[in-house]
């Protein structure tokens, strides 16, 4: 049976590869993000099963307005949208901007949409997969704290959805090439430094994270919920 899949942040990087993985399997995919041109280009590249939807997921009014364009049944929700706040500087105003920005971009973008469409998840087969980060476990200031809050929230969500047979899991990637997250900071020297921290001696690829997401959304993963799947090449070992 063809499933309806919603992928946030689906226009680039990991989200793009997640959308590709589901589209290649014949699923109907909606990619959600803020940038119309990026989404439309991605949808055109990924094929007819992919529909773009422009929405600022940190804005509750925008989320409400977008609900009518989302499927009445959402079989799989992949919460991938997120970014790092770039505000720098000292003093309470800069600190507030940085922490508030990271919370809005990485927590509200997940929670507002998930809570708005959770009643559309089909009992017995619904899947929620949220993309976090190794930063949630290593630290990384306001960004790491925002991602760590998703882990706590996912424990809560999985307990609520579990009695209905709906699973909710986290994928926590390490350093991944081919995304907009690092920008010019991920030069050859930085890639080598980060690769040396892993057990495999390399950084990851978006398609590898997408494969982890796809597995957790599959029928084979029906007995896995409330978990954090590390996808970091052994840079940080799970406990």
Per the model's pLDDT, the better-predicted residue between 179 and 100 turns out to be 100
**Bridge-partner residues for 6, per DSSP?**
30, 77
**Choice among 8-17, 76-85, 144-153, 198-207 with the minimum mean pLDDT:** 76-85
Whether the per-residue pLDDT at 176 is higher than 80: the answer is yes
| pLDDT tens digits along 56-73 | 999 999 999 999 999 999
pLDDT at position 177 is 84
Residue 177 sits at φ, ψ, to 5 deg, of: -75, 165
What percentage of the chain has pLDDT greater than the value 70?
95
Whether the per-residue pLDDT at 15 is higher than 70: the answer is yes
| Mean pLDDT score, 99-121 | 95
pLDDT at position 1 is 81
Report the side by side order of strands in the sheet with 167-173. Answer: 50-54, 28-33, 4-8, 76-79, 127-131, 167-173, 228-231
Q: Which helix (H) or strand (E) holds 159?
A: helix 141-161
SS3 168: strand
Whether the per-residue pLDDT at 191 is higher than 90: the answer is no
User: Is 143 considered catalytic here?
Assistant: yes
Confidence of residue 182 (pLDDT cuts 50, 70, 90): low
Q: Give the best-scoring range by mean pLDDT among 179-183, 185-189, 201-205.
A: 201-205
Residue of 161, 165, 4 whose CA lies nearest to 78: 4
Whether the per-residue pLDDT at 85 is higher than 70: the answer is no
**What is the distance of C-alpha 43 from the center of its chain?**
18
Query: What's the helix, strand, coil split of the chain in %, to 5?
Result: 50, 15, 35
pLDDT at position 93 is 86
| Mean pLDDT score, 201-205 | 91
Rounded CA gap, 27 and 138, in Å?
A: 35
Rounded CA gap, 17 and 153, in Å?
A: 25
pTM: 0.94
pLDDT at position 184 is 65
| pLDDT tens digits along 27-55 | 999 999 999 999 999 999 998 899 999 99
pLDDT at position 190 is 81
Rounded CA gap, 137 and 174, in Å?
A: 10
- Give the C-alpha distances (Å, rounded to integers) separating 108 from 8, 56, 104, 115, 174: 12, 10, 5, 10, 22
pLDDT at position 94 is 86
Contact 40, 30 (CB under 8 A): no
The one catalytic residue in 16, 103, 143, 181 is 143
Supply the mean pLDDT for the chain.
92
């Amino acid at each position: 049976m063809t499933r309806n899949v919603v992928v946030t942040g689906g226009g680039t990087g990991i989200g793009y590869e997640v959308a590709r993985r589901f589209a290649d399997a014949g699923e109907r995919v909606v990619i959600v993000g803020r940038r119309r041109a990026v989404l439309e280009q991605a949808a055109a590249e990924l094929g007819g099963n992919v529909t773009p939807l422009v929405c600022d997921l940190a804005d509750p009014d925008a989320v409400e307005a977008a609900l009518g364009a989302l499927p009445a049944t959402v079989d799989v929700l992949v919460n991938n949208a997120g970014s790092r706040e770039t505000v720098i500087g000292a003093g309470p105003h800069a600190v507030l901007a940085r922490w508030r920005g990271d919370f809005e971009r990485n927590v509200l973008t997940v929670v507002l949409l998930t809570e708005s469409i959770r009643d559309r998840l089909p009992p017995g087969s619904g899947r929620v997969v949220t993309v976090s980060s190794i930063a949630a476990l290593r630290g990384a200031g306001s960004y790491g704290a925002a991602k760590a809050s998703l882990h706590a929230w996912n424990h809560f969500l999985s307990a609520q959805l579990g009695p209905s047979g709906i699973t909710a899991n986290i994928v926590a990637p390490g350093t991944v090439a081919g995304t907009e997250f690092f920008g010019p900071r991920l030069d050859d020297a930085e890639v080598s430094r980060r690769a040396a921290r892993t057990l495999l001696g390399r950084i990851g690829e978006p398609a590898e994270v997408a494969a982890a997401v796809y597995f957790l959304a599959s029928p084979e993963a029906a007995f896995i919920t409330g978990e954090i799947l590390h996808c970091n090449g052994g840079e940080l070992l799970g406990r």
